[in-house]
Structure 1
Amino acid sequence: MKLAHALEVVKALGVLRQNGVSNPKAPVETLRTMRESQIYGPQATLVRHSARIAPDQVALVDERGELTYRELDDQSTAVARGLEAAGITPGTVIAVLARDHRGLLLSMIAAGKLGVRIALMNTGFAKPQFAEVCEREKVKAVLHDSEFLGLLDALPPELPRYLTWVDEGTELPAGAQTLDDLVAANSAEPLPAPPRPGGFIILTSGTTGLPKGAPRTKVSPLATAQIVDRLPFVQRGTMVIVSPIFHSTGLATWLVGTALSNKIVMRRRFDAEGTLKAISDNKANMLVAVPTMLHRMAELPADVRAKYDLSSLTGIVLAGSALSPELCVKATEVFGPVLYNLYGSTECAVATVAQPDELAIAPGTVGRPPITCEVRLYDEDDKQVSATNTTARIFIRSGAPFEGYTDGRHKQIIDGFMSSGDVGHFDEHGLLMVDGRDDDMIVSGGENVFPQEVENLLLERPDIFDVAVVGVDDVEFGKRLRAFVVPEPGQNPDAEEIKAYVKNNLARYKVPREVVFLDDLPRNPTGKLLRRVLVEYDVNA
């Protein structure tokens, strides 16, 4: 086993060379970057790296314009100096509550340069959630966009705060400081190296309660190999990232793009047509999105899509929530064979990636593990399951080990493999299919039902735009199924006909007893469905 893992490491280093992450022709720079990653963490290390090898390359494009890698490096140093002068020292935890723009990146890079731990907050937080997470993580300062000023009322007034973005027309509190103020007031001369890396706290999706904190102190080069192994990254290419960077997929792809000196285009709010325009205007070769965003782009009228030249696009990387077979087929028809479906979690990092040829064979599959990753299935008795088309719990071995939640809890581990919290099966091609969340399973009348199967069936209907199926309490059956349906614009589906459709295609016990029509489904910024909101939904209100 040890020999196999050692061979994996050698192969992973080869993957990094092949994809341009490490350059055998520049060994001094490669060694310097590896050494710095153990001091600054990935965000500051990779920006410093690209500022040395490609200082004038555009690093980011947001609504305020462009910044080169040299400018991003210099401005983040000035921000770090300003925070240091305010008493924010190595080991401190600071929170950033920001959408995707330069302020978020400057905050993360500055934290790395100071050895400060940065908690990436969810922009969908309600005030009580935000306050609870800040207290649990012992946050000592908050960097935030002006639109979230109201959330900060729940925090102690003496807690230092800095504005990462100011919306036009916003009336700021007296004495408010912005990152622009810190950049203007402080030197860009390099800081002394911190004693140790501060790292990140990435929050879980919080779909079942208060989000847990998953810390990452260091990121191994092997984690980078996992991401580039089966995804079409390009050296000095152009990426459009609309998946939130505060979450794992957006953050990981930004880090790899930065390592490859990419131009990275981001917007604070997702707009389907605006995203196509960003791809066209910047001749982007990669788009990073969540499936709900892809759905909205694929549903745009053909004449709207035709206005934009998307011929530069060689990869659409999807993660964050399930890619339904129906959307997989539809999006491939619209954009071509460029879909890559990434499966992983905040805790496990990358588990598998499905490439276009695999999605053609099995629409919706999450594919195969990349280098240094392995997936196994275990039953309820913790015995490994190897049979084809047999649903069991998914466990992952990754080169990016989980450090445990900040509240002291941990995921179940069997033989070095960590639970993903999902259930799934391997098909006859050896491709992994995710059947749903382990805790989403509904027992109705003694039968096990995974909502995703019913949802995927209903999404095939041309009159349904979005759907969720949940279990609600039932005196006779324990639980009964309730479907929440968002109709396609201009369509008026019938509830009884929907039930009959499920009955004609699936087992009787998988038929929803009720169908509720909504204008939209509750989802978090990464596209994950907030099932608990629907379970508690008052259908009589």
Structure 2
Amino acid sequence: MSRGTGGHLVGDVGYKLKILRQIGLLKVQPPHRLLKAGVKLATWGPGFPSAAGAAAARFPNQLAIIDDAGEITWQELYDEVNRATAALATKGIGAGDSVALLCRNHRHMVVAMIALMQRGAKVLLLNTMASANQLGELTRREGAGLAIVDQEFLTVASELDRDQILLAWEEDDTHGLPTLRELAAAESAKPHKKPERPGGIVIFTSGTTGLPKGANRKEPENLDPLMTFFGAIPYTGNSTVVLAAPLFHSWGLLNFGFGLSTVPTYVLRRKFKPEQVLADIDQYKADVLVVVPLMMQRLVDASSTAVEKSDVSSLKITASSGSALAGDLANHFMDLFTDSVYNFYGATETGWVSIASPEDLRAAPGTAGRVPWRTIVKILDTDGKEVPQGETGVIYVGNEMQFGGYTDGNSKSFADGLM
């Protein structure tokens, strides 16, 4: 059996205090701001709505998002979320309703996602590679009465009635549809009460056949999952995060959601371009880059001119997951840029299994890394018994961020209390 050992080295209390200091939650701030943030967290509990509200309370004038539309502060973003929440209420969206979201990375996706959760709705995060048939079938299967989409995906939404569609990102005014931003403009930015039922997020896992399965994302019950994540991937408070991985993907969403507690500035781009990523790291002195391995490969293969003219020395964390990371790619990336690669091994359903640091990847290229704090991993045989070291078996894991089951009522198999 393998357990995360970080907490055992210094004791749980010492470990937690160390991480809280690291991510800025113990930073000295004006009492009225801390009070507002504390009330939001106490009222709503852990989750996107409380984290966004707390960020706006603690650092209202700090940039929250830099994207293709420009810059927006935390207070401005939170005001937009509250106006959008009111607009969704006028559209009849309430607790328990399902709403499909088909968007690239930008502020309007973030606003829509948090506003829907403030209404107690279930957010269906659809892959931007979805076909018209998939979108139609998934919205029917999941009972979605509304879809919020970027203008470029209107052809994908062709099977939906036009009165079921709201636009998120618009490229021009030829679409003839309402946008969430337009509907929200006339509404109040007054904060909202917690809904009778909490909102949620469904991530669709790609399958080899048929429609993707809908996996219910489970919100943390306390701060312990954040302690585990940030103990292994050392985010710091108020850092700049270039979030290149798509938000509809569990890896991009995890970094966005957990990152909220650190009150970062997110750099979001609608489309991944290696030269743009390097330029963003240079211009904004980014501390963190969130990618999938294919993006790392494209960065390594970027033109020598783009690499040479971009100063990426600020980059302390390159967080990678989503598919297998070849050891030679990790080291090639670190040779070319900075020793910053952290590889997350896990799945949408299981959460994390292990995380490799730059030192781990240098010492053993291709390693899956170490089991983090408050995580249990066992290798079991077909009878559910633990196999001796060196023998092959099935990986089972226990942690505090496993999913809440599939939307069809099924789940993964368990053995010895582990998934």
TM-score (norm: length of structure 2): 0.91
The answer to whether the aligner puts 1:97 opposite 2:102 as a matched pair is yes
- SS for the counterpart of 2:290 is strand
Q: Which residue in 1 is equivalent to 2:71?
A: 66
Q: Which residue in 2 is equivalent to 1:314?
A: 316
Report the Cα offset of residue 16 of structure 1. 4.2
The answer to whether the aligner puts 1:32 opposite 2:39 as a matched pair is yes
Q: Is the 8 A contact 1:257 1:264 kept in 2?
A: no
Report the Cα offset of residue 213 of structure 1. 1.0
Q: Which residue in 2 is equivalent to 1:396?
A: 397
The answer to whether the aligner puts 1:128 opposite 2:133 as a matched pair is yes
Task: Give aligned-pair identity as a percent.
Answer: 33
Q: Which residue in 2 is equivalent to 1:142?
A: 147
Q: Is the 8 A contact 2:354 2:369 kept in 1?
A: yes
The answer to whether the aligner puts 1:380 opposite 2:411 as a matched pair is no
Report the Cα offset of residue 109 of structure 1. 1.2
| 1:51 aligned residue (56, 60, 63) | 56
Deviations 1:466-496 (A, max 9, x none): xxxxxxxxxxxxxxxxxxxxxxxxxxxxxxx
| 2:20 aligned residue (17, 22, 32) | 17
2:244 partner letter: V
Deviations 1:417-460 (A, max 9, x none): 10xxxxxxxxxxxxxxxxxxxxxxxxxxxxxxxxxxxxxxxxxx
Report the Cα offset of residue 303 of structure 1. 3.3
Report the Cα offset of residue 304 of structure 1. 2.6
- Alpha-carbon distance between aligned partners in 2 of 1:226 and 1:278, rounded to the nearest angstrom: 28
Q: Is the 8 A contact 1:235 1:262 kept in 2?
A: yes
- Alpha-carbon distance between aligned partners in 2 of 1:149 and 1:283, rounded to the nearest angstrom: 36
- SS for the counterpart of 1:316 is strand
Deviations 1:387-443 (A, max 9, x none): 13x33211110112332100111101111110xxxxxxxxxxxxxxxxxxxxxxxxx
- SS for the counterpart of 1:413 is coil
- Alpha-carbon distance between aligned partners in 1 of 2:143 and 2:24, rounded to the nearest angstrom: 35
RCO higher in structure (CA 8 A, sep ≥6):
2
Structure 1 residues 400 and 37, CA, compared in 2 at 3 Å: closer, same or farther? farther
Q: Is the 8 A contact 2:37 2:57 kept in 1?
A: no
Q: Which residue in 2 is equivalent to 1:160?
A: 164
- Alpha-carbon distance between aligned partners in 1 of 2:393 and 2:76, rounded to the nearest angstrom: 50
Report the Cα offset of residue 295 of structure 1. 0.4
- SS for the counterpart of 1:304 is helix
Deviations 1:42-88 (A, max 9, x none): 11111100100000000000001011000010011111101101111
Q: Is the 8 A contact 1:59 1:262 kept in 2?
A: yes
Q: Is the 8 A contact 1:344 1:350 kept in 2?
A: yes
Report the Cα offset of residue 217 of structure 1. 4.8
1:127 partner letter: A
Q: Name the count of aligned residue pairs.
A: 409
Give me the CA root mean square deviation.
Answer: 2.3
Q: Is the 8 A contact 2:201 2:217 kept in 1?
A: yes
Report the Cα offset of residue 9 of structure 1. 6.6
| 1:281 aligned residue (263, 268, 283) | 283
Q: Which residue in 1 is equivalent to 2:119?
A: 114
Q: Is the 8 A contact 2:316 2:338 kept in 1?
A: no
- Alpha-carbon distance between aligned partners in 2 of 1:194 and 1:323, rounded to the nearest angstrom: 41
Instruction: Please give the residue correspondences for 1:422-501 in structure 2 after superposition, counting only pairs within 5 Å.
Output: none
Report the Cα offset of residue 177 of structure 1. 0.8
TM-score (norm: length of structure 1): 0.71
Deviations 1:203-225 (A, max 9, x none): 11334542111113532322222
- Alpha-carbon distance between aligned partners in 2 of 1:372 and 1:280, rounded to the nearest angstrom: 36
Q: Which residue in 2 is equivalent to 1:416?
A: 417
- SS for the counterpart of 2:191 is coil
1:91 partner letter: G
Q: Is the 8 A contact 1:58 1:68 kept in 2?
A: yes
The answer to whether the aligner puts 1:178 opposite 2:185 as a matched pair is no
Report the Cα offset of residue 10 of structure 1. 5.0
Instruction: Please give the residue correspondences for 1:185-264 in structure 2 after superposition, counting only pairs within 5 Å.
Output: 185-220=186-221, 221-264=223-266
Q: Which residue in 2 is equivalent to 1:353?
A: 355
Q: Is the 8 A contact 1:15 1:228 kept in 2?
A: no
Q: Which residue in 1 is equivalent to 2:294?
A: 292
- Alpha-carbon distance between aligned partners in 1 of 2:153 and 2:54, rounded to the nearest angstrom: 33
Q: Is the 8 A contact 2:37 2:58 kept in 1?
A: no
Q: Is the 8 A contact 2:312 2:338 kept in 1?
A: no
Deviates more, 1:398-407 or 1:206-215: 206-215
Structure 1 residues 371 and 36, CA, compared in 2 at 3 Å: closer, same or farther? farther
Higher strand share: 1
- Alpha-carbon distance between aligned partners in 1 of 2:246 and 2:43, rounded to the nearest angstrom: 26
Report the Cα offset of residue 133 of structure 1. 1.4
- Alpha-carbon distance between aligned partners in 2 of 1:401 and 1:232, rounded to the nearest angstrom: 21
Q: Which has the larger radius of gyration?
A: 1
- Alpha-carbon distance between aligned partners in 2 of 1:70 and 1:250, rounded to the nearest angstrom: 23
Report the Cα offset of residue 302 of structure 1. 3.0
Report the Cα offset of residue 20 of structure 1. 2.9
- Alpha-carbon distance between aligned partners in 1 of 2:16 and 2:319, rounded to the nearest angstrom: 23
- Alpha-carbon distance between aligned partners in 2 of 1:228 and 1:71, rounded to the nearest angstrom: 27
- SS for the counterpart of 2:349 is coil
Deviates more, 1:286-295 or 1:203-212: 203-212
1:359 partner letter: L
Q: Is the 8 A contact 2:117 2:198 kept in 1?
A: yes
